Amino acid sequence: MQCFSGNQSPVTTFILLGSSEYPHLQAPLFLLFLTIYTVSVVGNFGIIVITRINPKLHTPMYFFLRHLSFLDICYSNVFTPKLLEILVVEDRTISFKGCMVQFFIGCTFVITEMFMLAVMAYDRFVAVCNPLLYTVAMSHKLCTLLVAGAYMCGGICSLTLTYSLLELSFCGSNIINHFGCEYSAILFLSCSDLYFSQMTCLVISTFSEACSLLIILSSYMVIVVTIIKMPSTGGLRKAFSTCASHLTAITIFHGIILLLYCVPNFKSSWLLVKVATVFLTIMIPMLNPLIYSLRNKDVKETVRGLINSKLLYPSIQFK
């Protein structure tokens, strides 16, 4: 919603401030973010390809991992290209509609990833606690329904948050003190009563975080109890190795989310908000493929086999 108040004109475009207050950092930041973005896209696309070409990786765990990589590619592509653009061009504007679209799509993928990590925690729970019935319990139909549910929750939550922004009026400053259209940065520019939007954000963020963390924590509590009861250290080591990568990804992702939206007074420093948001939208998509590939024996073996078969021994095929 746009407003007409007195002599004020309705806001039709926003200006992304980015890091313009630090002009000497523009070029180094561009090179840094471009490198991270490239590694992120290549790494996540590689995970998708690797888990598709090797039949040994056609399991529920890697089915969810492919979707996690897809989500990382998507929300990185929503945010990063505009970030790179405002670092090298003078025109830092983004249209009102473009800003809302960027927020909606980016928010959808971030919230979906939050629920996807919870789904992956449940998958690890079944794998560790019921290994003999794992493939039966985690049927393809169930996996598809769990993934669809994660996407649906992400879409509904994001649509609700976007609606709360569209109900606001913007008739004053149009300068967003951020690299992109982040929720609190947009709220800061509104000349409307923010109660509805703030309450909507509180309810949605509390609901999504609480549901996701509840599933994750309850799953891993049972996993820990099961691992402790294992008689052999070999079984303990194997069980822990199946969960270590996922726990690392969860800790980083939810740590940033909680820092951004649950720590009091954190938003009093826009610099910290910018750094945390950039870490969430650029660094995490790069870290996830590194976490899951460097700590995953199956993925590393597939990469080695792919290199050998395609580069060193072209006649060798995966079996």
257-301 residue pLDDT tens: 887 776 655 555 777 888 888 888 888 999 888 887 766 677 777
pLDDT at 242: 64
By CB atoms closer than 10 A (0-12, 13-18, 19+), residue 187 is middle
If one compares 116 and 240, the residue with the highest pLDDT of the two is: 116
Question: With 90 as the cut, is the pLDDT of residue 149 above it?
Answer: yes
Interval 80-88 mean pLDDT:
91
Q: For residue 6, what pLDDT band results from cuts at 50, 70 and 90?
A: very low
pLDDT at 263: 62
Share of the chain above pLDDT 90, in %: 39
Buried b (16+ CB within 10 A) or exposed e, 279-291: bbbbbbbbbbbeb
Cα 153 from chain centre:
14
Cα 248 from chain centre:
14
Interval 303-318 mean pLDDT:
62
Q: What is the pTM of this model?
A: 0.87
Residue-wise pLDDT for 100-134, tens only, equals 999 999 999 999 999 999 999 999 899 888 888 88
User: What is the rounded radius of gyration, in angstroms, for the C-alpha atoms of the chain?
Assistant: 22
Residue-wise pLDDT for 57-78, tens only, equals 888 989 999 999 999 999 899 9
pLDDT at 12: 83
Residue-wise pLDDT for 175-220, tens only, equals 998 888 988 889 888 888 889 998 998 899 889 989 999 999 999 9
By C-alpha distance, which of 16, 206, 214 is closest to 96? 16
Interval 32-36 mean pLDDT:
94
pLDDT at 118: 95
Q: What is the mean pLDDT of the chain?
A: 84
Residue 95 three-state SS:
strand
Interval 1-29 mean pLDDT:
73
* C-beta pairs of 158-162 under 8 Å, 24+ apart in sequence: 158/104, 158/105, 158/107, 158/108, 158/111, 159/104, 159/108, 160/200, 160/204, 161/103, 161/107, 161/200, 161/201, 161/204, 162/100, 162/103, 162/104, 162/107
What are the tokens at 188?
């800061």
The answer to whether 217 touches 103, Cβ cutoff 8 Å, is: no
